[in-house]
Structure 1
Amino acid sequence: MAKTLKKINDFLAGLPMTIVAGVFLLIDLVPHLMEEFGGTEIHLSFLPFDPAWVTVIISGIPLLYLAIWRIIYNRGIAKISSALLICIAMFAALAIGEMFAAGEVAFIMALGALLEDATTNRAKKGLKKLISLAPTQGRRIRDGKEEMIPAEEIRKADVLRILAGETIPVDGKILTEETSVDQSIMTGESLPVDKTVGDEVFCGTINRFGAIDITATKVGKDSSLQKLIRMVEDAENKQAPMQRIADRVASWLVPVALLIAILAYAFTGNIVTGVTVLVVFCPCALVLATPTAIMAAIGQATKHGVIIKSGESLEKMGKVDTIAFDKTGTLTYGRLEVSDVIPFDSTLTEKELLTLTASAEAKSEHPLGKAIVARAKGQNLPLTESENFKMAAGKGISANVDGRSLLCGNEKYLTERGVSIDGQVHSTLEKLRTEGKASILVAEKDTCIGVIALSDVLRPEAKDMVSRLNAMHTSTVLLTGDHKKTADYFAKQVGISEVRAELLPEEKVQNIEALREAGRKVCMIGDGVNDAPALKTADVGVAMGSMGSDIAVEAADIALMSDDISKIPYLKRLSNATVKTIKFSITLSMCINFVAIVLSLLELLTPVTGALVHNAGSCFVVLIAALLYDRKFE
């Protein structure tokens, strides 16, 4: 029975039936207008019933269903809602034969519900995509033999072998060999992290080079990826549905309306006056104020490549006073490029050093090596086929180029091969580290002949964007999984003074929660899977929609489809204007209601003219909201 009622209610509350209700209400309006303002009485004798009855049935039944549902299931004062007040007015109008007035208040409420639904529907596919990243099997080593087993059968202390390119199925520690691990899913770092014996590796990250053996330390629900999934689930569950402003004031609105209507009838002796008071007291304009303004703002934002998923997030964005940024892929492009080519050998030019290094790295699979080769090819430098190419995973490579024996790698790799690193090299490396750059040392035989530095590329609009936010009295914070020096360098470049670096996803969440506990309204902007929990935990989450992961986009409330972070100040201004428009519309609607109540008490309005005034207030609210659509916020 309950399911049948729900289906009937949903059908009547849908857009097609609401349109039908509006058409019949319009048909009924014509004779009333002629009678009230033209003096000519017109009867719709060709119809066997009053057209407004269709509107009352179509729009009134869902309204009555909602009012009763809230009385039964809501707690305390929340049982008294705006739907209850409008139902009372509707039945009062029906009792004295004022069909149009009854149909009008029900129809305006139905229209408001449709507008609100149109702004709050949200896709929730991100969690499924996150779960799909979880490895389904692992290669266990037992008694010297390898066996593939389901991930859920892996137990703590099991020894697992991970081949190059495979996803690590559990958290663990490396027992043998060295490698580089792509752990961008967890930290957002743009570079694979070099790992050696004793280092920790995380579930869901990818082994990039060679085979490693690990011992499982955290399995099943305790693994990092599963914690990440749970954080997204928990944050999703914490999201409260947007509560209508009209319902928040209904606890006093309903008794006040009834009291005034009863007093009006008692003093005038005219039941029509009491009913008119109830009709004009209905908070339909109040109900429309929020969804119409939000719909216009969402339409405006869509034109600018900003997708806002819900009205609640737009309202909250208008109250945000702190914006937290991820670094990689957000403030930066998330791609490595050669930034410095520094020869230590006076006989070498920068182009010669780049040509030698690119020739040696041409067979490398490491992202740093590939970036060096890409730069050389971009400058049309002639590369030579290398010989005796060898790669030490996570350290560097050796190769012969034009008869020259070259080593390219990190400082540890070169010193292990007997290359002396003097003070000049050390000071250069330290300077590059403070600038947030990764370095490849190049040596010939036992001498370091140069260094090539690579850096993530800062978005050119980032500095101006932060400056504009500061001018709007909005604080900015950098939350990143990158190294502290790298984070400090990029934060200084764009003008962010508050930096929190080397953070795992759960630590980003903790930092967001700490900011909120300090009384700050926080917006988080990120692009990676690792940012999803923080995006959900923040008051508002904004994802880089074009380059960002599907999971980050689904987890966020707002997506920048063009990855243009210069849109952030625009988004903040639009949100501020939307909140102001909503407040103004609410104030205006309440003023119109107050004037209408006074006119009703003076018996200058009837239920029909009162309904028309009530309708005019709703139209004003919609018109004011519509002005948001074309307003300039640049």
Structure 2
Amino acid sequence: MKTWKTWGVAGISGLLIVLSWLSTLLWTNAISPLLADAFMIAAAVVAGWPIAKSAYQALRIRMISIDLLVVVAAVGALFINNFWESAAVTFLFALGKALEQATMNRTRKSLSDLVDSAPETATKLNADDSTTTVELWELNPGDIVLVRNGEQIPVDGKVIIGAGGVDEATITGESMPAEKTPGSEVFAGTWLRSGVLRVEATGIGSDSTLAKIIHRVEDAQDDKARTQTFLEKFSAWYTPGVMISAAVVGLITMNVELALTLLVIGCPGALVISIPVSIVAGIGRAARDGVLIKGGEYLETAAKVDVVVVDKTGTLTTGQPQLTDVESLDATFSTDKILELAARAETASEHPLAEAIIRGAGERGLSTELVFDARNVTGRGIIADVDGQEIAVGSAALLNHTPDSAKILALNEQGKTAMFVGVDGRAVGIVAVADAIRSDSLSAIKALHRAGIEVIMATGDADRVAQNVGMELGVDDVRAELLPEDKLEIVRELQAAGKTVAMVGDGVNDTPALAAADIGVAMGAAGSPAAIETADIALMADRLPRLAHAVTLAKRTVNTMRINIAIALVTVVVLLAGVLFGGVTMSVGMLVHEASVLLVIGIAMLLLRPTLKEEPAVMSKKSVDRVNA
């Protein structure tokens, strides 16, 4: 039933009950008792009819539902002329259904917010630079759309002209706008908060990242946890058991009202709703925080994770070499001058590390003017003419005199690639580059440790490089120089030791280990539709600390499920005791039953509270020391 229908049924039934009471208070003639009974019967029929339909539909698929218990109890109460009990039971059940539906809709708000954020039109830029407002289905990949300040970005695409700040909270959960420049990716459903952008469409409508997220969250919220599946099987036997037990008690005691009361209080409503409402709330909260969890089963597994295996390159590190050190070996050359000479020479190089040196010089405001007279020496470095001086960047073999290599070796031991900078055959300085550690990796490792999770770094990189990164970040174990099958073996080894393993990787060479892990985690999934569809947990933003948040939220959700199950079982036991020792009627039993349902839902809704508190990015002490140097 629609929400307005459920509230309408409960409202009309409640009004008829009030009219029944009023008829006995306002009139004292012989007709008033009959009128009061008629109103009560009408209230029971109005509230009970939808319940009876639901019970019949369940019976058609050979399922004995909770609704059937209520219908039998209500009809039985009518037959023994207990009209108030019949009306009260059906009214309270209908009211409970309406409140339950309303609160479930509240828990699904994260999904409805995503659906509401989906754009419907776009401003298409024509060949003559004129604009046309079109429906999304009228766009094709490759079309150019214009997005002005304050407008919603209608498509996935790449910025071709313009710059601005984009609010990507609906996709990544990030609160601060992301700066976009030509070449940057943008996503449908996000908002341009400053600037003007021209965007080339790559994903439209159902092909957009937003649509894939909505689809994933819908599937995840409907996915059943193992505990939920068990409880559904349990209730399939429990509900018929309640009916048989009530019938046996009625036959033994010859007390029909007692048997009907047992039917009502035996309803496992709170037990059945305790799991799905918790899963919906937990997955919904995670989605709003930029974490997609594949479903209830994976939510339960994530709560058990006690070890995380994490790749190094592109996960703990940026995956992009950066300048780390500049040292002077000659007092007549400052570190800035050494870096500038090295950068100028490297403008003629095609080596991957050259870009790190050039970028480092540019960040310090030094000249990176191109040189044209240069020669690359394979395996050794580059020699270039810079303003009439012969500048060499590379190994000692490029120099006329063999310099002291102690500092080079010390830097190499730290996992860096160090190179001499020579002027006219004489070493004057050293520059070093390395794959820089992400600024949030240290806080991520600390957050995982606080959650009681062991962190193992598994990488194909050289052992000395891996050990240095592991020491800086404080990971528990470092495994280096690994092949993809070695990472798979590590996961299996941990699982054999009884560990629940989460694997974080780039999804390429880590694919076997990701598939074998209990939980496969993709990071920065907003730009990867495949990761959104396949990862057990997808961190939409490129932020590793979100993994600790996801695990903590999963643990809170599972704890909520356990609390709710306990409340449901205790309620049934207390009500049974109340019936056996007297004092609990059908209406009281239904009232307590519905109160327990609402309590269970209310506790689950606490999961919707925002709890994501990310620490500011923190560099390790070694990294700080390098920057200060």
TM-score by length of 1: 0.64
Cα distance in structure 1, aligned partners of 2:488 and 2:22:
63
- Are residues 118 and 542 of structure 1, via their aligned partners in 2, closer, same or farther at CA, if it must alter by over 3 Å? farther
Pairing partner for 1:614 from 576, 589, 593: 593
Aligned position for 1:623:
602
Q: Is the 8 A contact 2:503 2:513 kept in 1?
A: yes
8 Å Cα contact 1:515/1:522 also seen in 2: yes
| Aligned equivalent of 2:448 | 469
Are 2:478 and 1:510 aligned? no
Residue in structure 2 matched with residue 89 of structure 1 by the alignment:
69
Does 2:538 align with 1:555? no
Can you list the C-alpha shifts for 1:547-602, whole angstroms capped at 9, x where unaligned?
77444444333344444444444444333332222211111111111222333455
Q: Given that residues 3 and 102 in structure 2 are in contact (C-alpha distance below 8 angstroms), is that contact kept between their aligned partners in structure 1?
A: no
Instruction: Tell me if 1:265 matches 2:243.
Output: no
The answer to whether structure 1 residue 370 and structure 2 residue 365 are counterparts is no
SS at structure 2 position matched to 1:616: helix
**Contact 2:16-2:43 within 8 A present in 1 as well:** no
Q: Which amino acid in 1 is paired with 2:299? A: L
Look up the match of 1:489.
Answer: 468
- Residue 294 (str. 1) matches residue 292 (str. 2): no
Structure 1 residue 617 displacement after superposition: 0.9
CA 1:250 to 1:120, structure 2 compared with 1: closer, same or farther past 3 Å? farther
Q: Could you say what secondary structure the match of 2:322 adopts?
A: strand
Q: Which runs of 5 or more structure 1 residues have no equivalent in the other structure? A: 1-15, 69-82, 122-235
Q: Which among 545, 556, 567 is matched to residue 524 of structure 2?
A: 545
Does the 8 Å CA contact 2:408/2:418 hold for their aligned counterparts? yes
Change (3 A) 1:507 1:104: farther
Contact 2:401–2:425, Cα closer than 8 Å, also in 1: no
**Counterpart in the other structure of 2:578:** 599
Residues 56-111 of structure 1, C-alpha deviations (whole Å, 9 max, x = no match): 3664466446x63xxxxxxxxxxxxxx63536525634653558757976985995
* 506 and 118 in structure 1: CA distance in 2 versus 1, 3 angstrom threshold: farther
Match of 2:568 in 1: 589
Contact 2:265–2:572 under 8 Å retained in 1: yes
Name the counterpart of 1:144: none
Q: 2: CA distance between counterparts of 1:283 and 1:481? A: 53
Q: From the superposition, tell whether residues 569 and 547 of structure 1 become closer, same or farther in structure 2 (CA, over 3 Å).
A: same
The amino acid across from 1:277 in the alignment is L
Distance (whole Å) between structure 1 residues aligned to residue 378 and residue 588 of structure 2: 82
- SS of 1:84's partner is coil
Matches within 5 A, 1:119-518: 241-243=224-226, 244=228, 245-250=230-235, 253-254=238-239, 256-302=241-287, 304-345=289-330, 347-391=332-376, 396-409=381-394, 411=395, 415=397, 422=402, 424-425=404-405, 427-443=406-422, 449-518=428-497
Secondary structure at the counterpart of residue 367 of structure 1: coil
Q: 1:552 to 1:490 in 2, by over 3 A?
A: farther
Change (3 A) 1:86 1:361: same
CA distance in 2, matches of 1:532, 1:104: 53
- Secondary structure at 1:380's aligned position in 2? coil
Distance of 2:237 and 2:526 partners within structure 1? 49
Per-residue Cα deviation, 1:432-481 (whole angstroms, up to 9, x for no partner)? 23322233444556655543211233234433443343344321111233
What SS does the aligned partner of 1:50 have? helix
Q: Distance in 2 between matches of 1:421 and 1:348?
A: 18
Q: SS of 2:488's equivalent? A: helix
1:519 aligns with 2:498: yes
Alpha-carbon distance in 2 for matches of 1:19, 1:504:
59
Query: Would the aligned equivalents of 1:524 and 1:540 in 2 still touch at CA under 8 Å?
Result: yes
Measured after TM superposition, the shift of residue 369 of structure 1 is 1.0
Indicate conservation of the 8 Å contact 2:307/2:502, yes or no. Answer: yes
Q: CA RMSD in A?
A: 4.3
The DSSP-based 3-state class of the residue aligned with 2:64 is: helix
- Give, as a single letter, the amino acid of the residue that structure 1 aligns with 2:352: P
Q: Distance in 1 between matches of 2:455 and 2:273?
A: 34
Amino acid of the residue matched to residue 266 of structure 1?
L
Q: State the aligned residue count.
A: 483
Q: 1:112 touches 1:287 (CA, 8 Å); kept in 2?
A: no
Q: Distance in 2 between matches of 1:38 and 1:444?
A: 107
Q: Which whole-Å CA distance do the structure 2 matches of 1:321 and 1:33 have between them?
A: 57
The 1:48–1:93 alpha-carbon spacing in structure 2 relative to 1, beyond 3 Å, is: closer
Distance change >3 Å, CA 118–CA 384, structure 1 → 2: closer
The 1:380–1:99 alpha-carbon spacing in structure 2 relative to 1, beyond 3 Å, is same
Structure 2 residue 564 is the aligned partner of structure 1 residue 579: no
C-alpha distance in 2, partners of 1:264/1:307?
49
Q: Which residue of 1 aligns with 2:151?
A: none
Q: Residue 599 of structure 1: SS of its match in structure 2?
A: helix
Partners of 2:44 and 2:74 within 8 A in 1: no
Contact 1:317/1:540 (CA < 8 Å) preserved in 2? yes
Cα displacement (A) at 1:509 = 3.4
Give the partner amino acid of 1:501.
A
Q: Which has the higher contact order (CA 8 A, sep 6+)?
A: 1
Whole-angstrom distance in 2 between the partners of 1:19 and 1:629:
24
Deviates more, 1:427-436 or 1:319-328: 427-436
**Equivalent AA in structure 2 for residue 470 of structure 1:** H
Distance 1:561 1:253 in 2: 42
Residue 20 of structure 1 pairs with residue 5 of structure 2: yes
Note if contact 2:447-2:545 (Cα within 8 Å) is conserved in structure 1. no
Change (3 A) 1:419 1:61: farther
In the alignment, structure 2 segments of 5+ residues that lack a partner are 26-35, 79-85, 112-218, 614-629
Q: 28, 47, 52: which one pairs with 1:52?
A: 47
* Aligned partner letter, 2:46: P
Residues 88 and 381 (structure 1 numbering): CA distance in 2 closer, same or farther, change over 3 Å? same
CA distance in 1, matches of 2:417, 2:56: 67
TM-score, structure 2 normalization: 0.65
* Contact 1:119-1:309 within 8 A present in 2 as well: no
**Distance verdict in 2 for CA 1:86–1:117, change over 3 Å:** farther
Question: For 1:38 and 1:367, how far apart are their aligned partners in 2?
Answer: 90
Asked if structure 2 preserves the Cα contact closer than 8 Å seen for 1:574 and 1:633, the reply is: no
Contact persistence 1:363–1:389 (CA under 8 A): yes
Distance apart, 1:349 and its partner CA: 2.9
C-alpha contact (below 8 Å) 2:323/2:360 kept by paired residues:
yes
CA 1:302–1:117 in structure 2 vs 1: closer, same or farther (change >3 Å)?
closer
- Relative to structure 1, the CA distance from residue 588 to residue 547 in structure 2 (aligned partners, 3 Å threshold; closer, same or farther) is closer
* Deviating more after overlay: 488-497 vs 325-334: 325-334
| Whole-angstrom CA distance in 1 between matches of 2:23 and 2:489 | 68
Contact 2:525 2:531 in 1 (8 A): no
